Structure 1
Amino acid sequence: MNILTENYLVKNLRAYPLLRKKFMSYIKGLNQFPEGFTKNKLFHDYLKVRRHNPEKRVSQSEYMIFGFCNLSEKEQKKYLTDVEATRLMRPYNSESEPYLKSKETFLKNFTRFIHRGWLYVPDASYEEFCEFVHKYHTVALKPQYSSWGIGFLRLTEEELRENENPREFYEKMCSGKYLAEEFVESCDELAVFHPSSLNTLRVITFRCGERFEVFGCGLRVGNNGLHVDNAHGGGIFCEMDPANGEIITDGLDECSNSYVTHPMTGVKFKGTKIPHWKEIVELCREASMELPCLRVVGWDVAILSDGRLELIEGNHNPGMNIVQAPAKHGVHDKFASMLLDYYGEPEQYKKALQS
């Protein structure tokens, strides 16, 4: 094997055309370039950041939302990328992946925290699927293993009835391993930001035995009339204070555009207090105790229109963007330190599990 093929610089040179194409496509979403930067200057600075931080595998979005173009290398090291976070969590969280990655398995294991109706379409007949849609009138359709809102569909009873070939649509949902869920709506306090989407709270927690702590949290709301609140689907996110549930930053989207108020509704982000915050934290604490393997989890929680709390899903490798980017403070050292404090060194932790 030629050692040059494993050289990081050579790999970057070979990836240059694709990286450039992806970067230029990504920055089309920017409302305003950072002062002193053009498209080309941003791209070449992004390449420099990747070259100087090979272990971070910085994505285009992370480069922009963290503001790396204006940070020194020392300051860049303070941020935790998705790749780094996954690498750090893997020794402790691998056991929880089967229970959280599969949406169907998650719903089966956390039934006492879930009130919405749901149906795994491949396990249902065509008639049962139609009955489910009829019962709830509007349903959310999600691929079993999807994330970032990819593949999400909203289906009404009328739309299914007017479909030229509803059975073919059902078969497509079966082959795509879709879940059908009752389409639920946010409480007034959260719906006011963007009524078309279910706006949710991301709560990242640590748990070891009876010890429990909220590492960080944030609010995610939809945008542009879409039904998803995920940033990858065009949504806006902001950071909250874990102590009292108050929003402490302006909103931010995946393209690093900042919003004092929601661009569609004009509702201000910073300073808003999320209702039922103590109950939300308690729900996450109880959910984290549900299975022995749950350690670091990113819980997605909704407050429904009738005031009930609803657990939407749990993430075994939660991204840390929501607790870094809006306030522009990196959590790399804090996160790594808490992992060691709660669980010890990875090798020691593995030995403890085996003993």
Structure 2
Amino acid sequence: MLYVFSRFKECQNRFEKEKRSLWWKGVFFVDWIIAFFIHGASINDYFAYRFFYLRRSGRKEFITFRRHKKIQAICNPTLTDRELCRDKACFNRHFSAYLGRNWLDVSTCTFQEFCNFFLNYEVVFLKDISSFRGIGIKKLQSSDVNVEKLYQQLQTKKEANYILEEPIIENDELASFHPWSINTIRIVTVYNEKTDKVYLMNARIRMGNNKNNVDNFHFQGIGANIDIQSGVINSLGYDMFDNTYICHPLTGKQIVGFQIPCWEECKLFVEKAARMIPTVRYIGWDVVIGVNGNFSLIEANDNADHDFQQLYNKGLWKEYRKVLSKIH
């Protein structure tokens, strides 16, 4: 119970800027409990979607924690199939035609192959195969690495396996938002294997911030909504601390109204990727739009965050229910 109170206070401080009396905090807590039982709203859901301002009809519009679990139960019931998304080495092998970059499995490569990879690239990314949210990713300058020592260290770590990847050259327009990281496009799909139709449910741009080398939203990154039809950013930028941005705070590049380049081609790229793993029907795809209109698939998230899709946009539960009714 102490954890619940602590989490409630944390989310209230993050999302609710107005200072409330102890009485109002108590009212909100009771209201959250009601929202939890009726709508399956987590504490984060309650504050992120401003449930304290919404009536029951408004709350019904949002994907909550419980509704998100329902989406996964219908679309992604088999855990073994979902592992293909979670193990980076397995993912890279399965989607080799979509990666757009060279990579190396450290657990199976020889020392000479390991050395050659660092000789070929000035910068190399080292990734834990089971990492998520940008955790466990290291950007290495090849000239600074003692290759023999690193190889021995990685080979003796039995509890974890690693891959090496070459850096990706991003489209100049997108890179200018935050040149210290790759800025990815997250497109969430639901696949109907009966009709072979891929539904594009939501699209977001993710930008790095504070000169971090990853753009993950949970690592101080910035997100913004993309209109599925046009590819235009149609919301403010926002971060997990509920700060909002018209322009990127470091580079000053305007976020609102930006046209994502090669948008129609990007959507087709994701649709093709979704058909490569038909038993995992709900996936959030992270894509880099590169130079010359080429694409690189970074990863597939079988449990793509529901809050990231709806913040500063609208509730998407109605849209998901329509699609789920066709595949369930």
Shorter-chain TM-score category?
Answer: 0.7 to 0.9
Would you say the 8 A contact 1:238–1:322 is kept in 2?
no
1:88 corresponding residue in structure 2: 71
Deviation at 1:290, TM superposition (A): 2.2
Of 174, 198, 201 in structure 1, the residue corresponding to residue 185 of structure 2 is 201
1:157 partner letter: S
Partner Cα distance (2:118, 2:38) in 1 = 47
The question of 1:105 aligning with 2:90 is answered: yes
Distance 1:162 1:171, change over 3 A: closer
Partner Cα distance (1:57, 1:124) in 2 = 47
1:296 corresponding residue in structure 2: 282
> How large is the RMSD of aligned CA atoms in angstroms?
2.8
Would you say the 8 A contact 1:237–1:253 is kept in 2?
yes
Instruction: Please show how residues 170-185 of structure 1 align to structure 2 within 5 Å.
Output: 170-171=154-155, 175-185=159-169
Deviation at 1:295, TM superposition (A): 2.2
Would you say the 8 A contact 2:31–2:52 is kept in 1?
no
Partner Cα distance (1:248, 1:289) in 2 = 28
Instruction: Please show how residues 1-355 of structure 1 align to structure 2 within 5 Å.
Output: 15=1, 17-22=2-7, 30=14, 33-37=16-20, 45=28, 48-54=31-37, 58-95=41-78, 96-161=81-146, 165-167=149-151, 169-171=153-155, 175-208=159-192, 209-327=195-313, 329-341=314-326, 343-344=327-328
- Once the two structures are superposed, residues 150-209 of structure 1 have per-residue CA deviations (whole angstroms, 9 ceiling, x without a partner) of 22211111231399x535543476642222211224211111111111111111122223
Would you say the 8 A contact 2:105–2:164 is kept in 1?
yes
Normalization by structure 1: what TM-score? 0.81
1:281 match: secondary structure: helix
2:324 partner letter: L
2:77 match: secondary structure: helix
Q: Percent identity?
A: 27
Q: Which stretch shows the higher mean deviation, 288-297 or 144-153?
A: 288-297
- Once the two structures are superposed, residues 99-118 of structure 1 have per-residue CA deviations (whole angstroms, 9 ceiling, x without a partner) of 22222111111111112111
Deviation at 1:259, TM superposition (A): 1.2
- Once the two structures are superposed, residues 206-239 of structure 1 have per-residue CA deviations (whole angstroms, 9 ceiling, x without a partner) of 2223322211111111111111111111111111
1:122 partner letter: S
1:309 partner letter: F
Q: Which runs of 5+ in 2 are unaligned?
A: none
1:233 partner letter: F
1:195 partner letter: P
Distance 1:172 1:229, change over 3 A: farther
Deviation at 1:147, TM superposition (A): 1.7
Would you say the 8 A contact 2:231–2:260 is kept in 1?
yes
Normalization by structure 2: what TM-score? 0.87
